[in-house]
Amino acid sequence: MKCLIWGLRICMFYIGIIPATVLISTLGWLCAPLPAIYCYYIITSWSRFFIWWAKITCGLKYNVKGQENIPKQPCVVLCNHQSTWETIFMQVLLPPQSWVLKRELLYIPFFGWGLALIKPIAINRSSRSAVTDTLSKGQQRLKEGRYLVFYPEGTRLSPGAEKKYSRTGAAVAIAAKVATLPIAHNAGNFWPKGPIIKQPGTISITIGEPIYADNPSIITEKAKTWIDATKANMSPPG
């Protein structure tokens, strides 16, 4: 019976999120002639609904620590990557932002079309110009007043898994002369890559102190060390 009830809750989540995706994406395109900031808030209303609906249907709550560490001015954010959940939650947590993602996501009907409206930095990972394009567009987005989110592992990793961090985000921060903000979470314990089953509980998100340095290797290593240590101290689900 418990499994049946939980299965029904998961079905309710997708029954709600699919029409919301179609509706908000369509509304975003209809409002595309408006100033970009209006379009941004229309599209990201989907993110706020997603996080709220996941809480209602799947029991996925969250707890944020360190919000006082978020700089008042746009900065580069380095966040670990374990699930889909944190990529959506970042749009709720931070002010207007852009983030680096694989170009293929823009081809997903409705979801990708809406995503394109909020000016992400979509890259072709196999292209030789990917890093150069990211450096150029990243600085441009920061000048536009947007925070810039990077997932330096480059792909979703299971909790406990590790991968060398890309230094591109740190390089953008140095070129733009802005801070780098590390963020750690344990969303993968509740919303793992692959299975549609989600585990109820409270996701922990911790925001570290801004990092200032003039060497991308130093920034990246400091961010990774802090993120790894912070993740290790987060309570597992149970």
User: What string of pLDDT tens digits covers the 238 residues of the chain?
Assistant: 666 776 788 889 999 999 999 999 888 888 888 888 888 889 899 999 999 999 999 999 999 999 999 999 999 999 999 999 999 999 999 989 998 888 888 888 878 887 788 888 888 776 667 788 888 899 999 999 999 999 999 889 988 888 999 999 999 999 999 999 999 999 999 998 876 778 899 999 999 999 999 999 999 999 999 999 999 999 766 5
Domain boundaries, the chain: 60-232
What is the rounded distance in angstroms from the CA atom of residue 79 to the CA atom of residue 176?
19
pTM for the model stands at: 0.91
What is the rounded distance in angstroms from the CA atom of residue 237 to the CA atom of residue 222?
27
- Please name the residue that has the structure tokens 């852009």: 98
Tell me, what amino acid is at 65? K
Instruction: Tell me the C-alpha to C-alpha distance, in Å, between residue 119 and each of 40, 43, 116, 210, 221.
Output: 9, 11, 6, 25, 28
60-232: CATH class? alpha beta
